Each structure stands twice: as C-alpha cells, then as structure tokens.
Amino acid sequence: MAQSTRKKPNNETEDFKLPDPVALSTALMDAYSRALPLFEKSFKHYSQDLTNKSMDPMNISKTYMELLHRTMTNPQQFWQLQNEFMQNWTQLCQQSTFKFLGAPSDNAVIETEKGDRRFRGEEWQESALFDFIKQSYLLTCEWMKKSVAEAKGLDELERKKLDFYTQLFAGAISPTNFIMTNPEVINETIKTGGANLVRGLENLIEDLERGEGELQISTTDYEAFTLGENIAVTKGQVVYQNDLMQLIQYAPTTKQVFKKPLLVISPWINKYYILDLRPDNSLIKWLVDQGHTVFAISWVNPNSKLTKKHFEDYMQEGVLDPLEQIKKITGEPDCNVIGYCLGGTLLATALAYLEEKKQPGKIASATFLTTLIDFEDSGDMKLFMDEAQLTGLEEEMKEKGILEAKQLQRTFNLLRANDLIWSFVVNNYLMGKEPFPFDLLYWNDDSTNMPASMHSFYLRKMYQENLLPKPGGIELCDTPIDIGKIKTPSYFLSTKEDHIAPWRATYAGTQLVSGPKTFTLAASGHIAGVVNAPGKNKYHYWSADKAPADPDQWLESAEEHQGSWWPHWQKWAKTHAGPKVPARQPAKGIEPAPGSYVKVKAG
C-alpha cells in the first residue's frame, strides 16, 4: 500500500488569489505522470470485469423496464405526477424571480430533509441562484421518488430495490458534487487561486494508488491511529486462540468482580474494537469498570486457506470453544454472553444448538445488540440478495475462496452513500482538504474478508430464504436449530435509526425465543446508538416491561429515558451475574491485547 504523501494545506489569508501558472502546470504534469499507469491498470481491471461479468451486476435493469411498462399502461398517473411537478416548478420560478430582483419571497417550495447536511452553506439559502439550483434538484428527486412509490402493480421487494437505486442516482447527481454548482467549492477555488483543485487532484491520485488502480476514497487520516496505542487500548491478554479467533481476557479495574464471567462476541464482518475505540467510549472498558470479568472474541481476517470454514465452524470455534476455555480459566460452569449484530445471530444459533444438545446451562444470559434472527424485513441489505446477485457473488468467491473486504465495504457505503461517499468526494477532491482523523471511520475502513462457504450459507439460508426462524430450517453440526427452544433470559437492544438491522425486524427476535426477555430501543443508528457511553449524556432510549407481538404497540407503551442505555442493561445484567468474588487477573497468555489477529489488514 502506498504511503501517504499528502501535504497539509496552508491556511489562506487572502480573499482572492491568482493561480500560479508554473506551479499549476508542474502539479498537473506530475499528477498526469502518476495517473497514467493507474488508469491503464484500472482500464484492464474493468475490461476484465466487463468480459467476465454481467453489465448489470446489481440486476436492476429488469426492474426499471418493469417500471417503464407500468408507467405506459397507466399514463393518467404519470401525467398527474408531471402536472404536480410542473406546478411546483412554476412556483419555484416565480419565487426565484422575486428573489433575483431583491424582493422578499414566500417560504421555500421544498425544504431539505432533516439530517441532510449537503446544503448547510449559507449560500444555498441566501443566493437566489443557488437556492434555485438546490430547490430544483430537490423537486426532481421528489418527483423520481413519487414515480416509484406510486407506480401500480410493482412487486413490493422490486419497488424497494427501485427506490434504493433511484436514491443512489439522485445522490450522485446532487449539485453539491460538481464544481460549478457548489458555491462552497467556487468560493474555495477563488480564494486559493485553484490550489484546492490541484490538491484535490493529488488526493484523487493518491486514493487510486492506495487502491492499486481502483478508487478507494479516504475517509479519515489513517496515520493518526495505531491499534494498542490510541485505540483498542483496554489492558488485557490473549489467553487462547484457534484458526478463527483470539480470546482476550481483560484486566480488572475493581477489587471484586461478579462471579459469572462475561463474553463479548462482535460481528466478524468488522473488527471487534468498535467496542473498544477510546477509553471514554469503550463499552469493553465500561463493562470492566462495572465489575465484570470480560472476555472478547477478536476474529481472524481470513485468507483463502480458510475458504472451507462454515457457519457451524464459527459457532464451534467462536462460541462453544471460548466457553470451554473461560470455564477452565475461571472455574465457572456458565457465562453471560453479549452478541453484537452478526455476533448476536451466531449467539442465537449457539443457544439453540446447546438446547438441542441438552447443555443450555453453559450460557446464563444472552444479550443481543442490533441482532437479526428473523430476516424477513431486514431492510436495504436484502436488496442485494436476489438470485442473480448471489450467483454472481458466489462465482467471484469461488475464484479466490473469500469475499474480499473491499466488496463488503462498498455495499455498506452504498447504504449511506451521501455520508460515506459523496461528502468525501466533495471534501477531498473538490475542496482539496484532508479528511478529519476520526476513529469510527478508521474502524469502518479496517474491514475483513469472508470465507466463501460461510458467507454463502449466511446470505442464502438467512437473508434470502429466512430459514433461521423456522424450526429445523437450518442444521449446524448435524443438529437442527430451533430458536423457539431457547429459554435463556435475553436482553434485546435495537436502535431506532438502524439502516443495517431495522429495529422492527430485530424486535421480531423477542417473539421467537421462549425464555424471559427484555427489549430496549436506543436512539440513533447501528453504531452510534450502541457505542453511547453514559459520560457523553447523548441520545435517549425507550424501555418497557413487556414485549407484545406488535413492535409499534411496544413503542406506544414504552417509557423514554435520557442518556445511555448502558446503565439500564447493567441493572438487568446484575441479576444474572452472581455474587462478588476477588478480581481475576489474566494470565500472561499468548500476547497482550489487542492481539495480532486484529492487526491483519485485508489484502
């Protein structure tokens, strides 16, 4: 990987600078010489893709043709939408004319949605020209969205897919993404004499170099963070490892600890240290400070040698094996377990497996953080799971034995394209600025590969076929899995704005298990809603004593509380943690935390 050569921009004091033609031509020639081999490599790469793969890898063209057919067979609805659009456009033109002439105008025809940060600059509101550009764009987006939403006869899943890709297209054509229609970029260009565009070109070339011909947009300062030094710094030891994971035991910070240990299972789609970023927002450190003997799973970043590892291997080596090791280390026969996202799905399968094997006592309580067990309404991720897309993905995995991390990362970035793609295109390439050093985005880019066998099983049996909620729908280690047999006390935590595991879908898990359960809903999204330390005093959460079948009925009866959900969970967890005993110091083990597995980068 190429080392960073970016220069930090100087602070500009002048309001206007003329470009230096010599410096500009030198910079452009240097960029050209660096870019030429990258473009050649990129051209070869994409030529092979076009030769070997479908021109429509997302399988969306058929759906767009179906929309066109439905529109042609119902022209009245089309013209109603057109008429509404033209009325709004006429109103916008009238208001903009008044604004151009300096006269006060009425309220905007259309406003930006809450949370849309693209049009924060004052010029978007104060300038008649840019206000017109903004509102005309928003009206067009609204027209496209309504055209999809109100089309008659479309299959609901196809409608959702169409809506998702229409929004992706709308995000791509935003006026903020182009030099001449973004006033902030124009101002920066005038102020720096075009130096911002030169720096932006250099940033673009460097990101192409980093991706070896593929564009890998920088979202943070990657040199600002080092594992074990300023992130993932909670003290502990790797006390055991196997092919798939390292088991970390953390050093106590209290003289006494709860008798029953606590195991944290993170998703292997990303690295575990999302729960241990910094001391002030580390869930793992907070758990240690509450008096738990905390163990955590740090998953391997698999290569082609692990291609045959199956979902059941992750259960055996990532849950059952660690439970045995924790029993040997602490002498305790059972353990409380937290599973986050896919780690929670794995925990659910392990609980059902242990029930079938008549060994349910190994897990004293289960906590499911933003966990899908029923995948029927699993949100935008399901849009990538039709047969054509899965077949193409399996063909790719067959070649290398793994699903490469960059492909997963692209998918997750598409779910929040305006925040994770286009905002950085503007910042890095148009404004010529460096991305801010942000630990969460460093973690987000530190993604992992997936073994082909495991990932194919997971996507097909769970996302596509939704067999996990069905008794015996899947088998692991020749054992039928029945979630309904789980009697272990369970705590479910979901987040209200989750775009990966929608809260109503995760709530369905409460209706599948047969043991006592508590459901809590936190504000914010899949990451920020979970990693919300009490000291931050951010967000809020809802709780209720019962979990009825209807999630909206639950929400109506739930009580809202300010701050973090962590203390609420701790109050519940204490009832399953046992009495206090002298603190347990981890043995020297294999190596200090965070261990070596987490430091392996995806190749």
Position 290, amino acid: Q
> What pLDDT, in 10s, does the model give residues 561-602?
999 999 999 999 999 999 999 999 999 999 999 999 999 987
CATH code of the domain made up of 236-416+442-599: 3.40.50.1820
Check if the beta carbon of residue 238 is closer than 8 Å to that of residue 299.
no
Alpha carbon distance 290, 165 (integer Å): 45
379 sits in the region (left: phi over 0; alpha: psi -120 to 50; else beta) called: left
Judged by phi (left if over 0) then psi (alpha if -120 to 50, else beta), residue 89 lies in alpha
- Tens digit of pLDDT for each residue in 52-101? 455 555 667 777 777 787 777 777 877 888 899 899 989 999 888 888 88
DSSP string, 223-265: GG--BTTTBS---EEEEEE-SSEEEEEEPPSSSEEESS-EEEE
Mean pLDDT value across residues 102-120: 84
Q: Which residues are catalytic?
A: 341
C-alpha to C-alpha distance for 274 and 445, rounded to whole angstroms: 12
Question: What pTM value is reported for the model?
Answer: 0.90
Task: Report the pLDDT value the prediction gives residue 13, as an integer from 0 to 100.
Answer: 43
Angstrom distance (rounded) from CA 419 to CA 84: 30
Q: Each residue of 123-170: pLDDT tens digit?
A: 998 899 999 999 999 999 999 999 888 888 788 888 888 899 899 999
Report strand pairing: 262-265 vs 335-340. parallel
DSSP string, 275-336: GSSSTTT-HHHHHHHTT--EEEEEE----GGGTT--HHHHHIIIIIHHHHHHHHHH--S-EE
pLDDT tens profile 508-558: 999 999 999 999 999 999 999 999 999 888 899 999 999 999 999 999 999
Q: pLDDT (tens digit, 9 = 90+) per residue, 462-502?
A: 999 999 999 999 999 999 999 999 999 999 999 999 999 99
How many residues comprise the chain?
Answer: 603
Has residue 50 got a pLDDT over 50?
no
Domain boundaries defined on the chain: 236-416+442-599
Whether the pLDDT of residue 41 is over 90: the answer is no
The whole-number average pLDDT for the span 172-180 is: 95
pLDDT-based confidence at residue 400 (cuts at 50, 70, 90)? confident
User: Do 264 and 296 meet the contact criterion of CB atoms below 8 Å apart?
Assistant: yes
DSSP bridge pairs for 148: none
Give, for 141, the enclosing helix (H) or strand (E): helix 128-149
Q: For the chain, what percent of residues have pLDDT higher than 70?
A: 90
Q: Is 113 helix (H, G, I), strand (E, B) or coil?
A: coil
Name the band, by pLDDT with cuts 50, 70 and 90, for residue 352: very high
| Gap between the Cα atoms of 560 and 539, Å rounded | 11
Q: Could you give the percent of the chain with pLDDT greater than 90? A: 66
According to DSSP, the residues that pair with 250 across neighbouring strands are: 236
Residues 44 and 212: their CA atoms lie apart, in Å, by 12
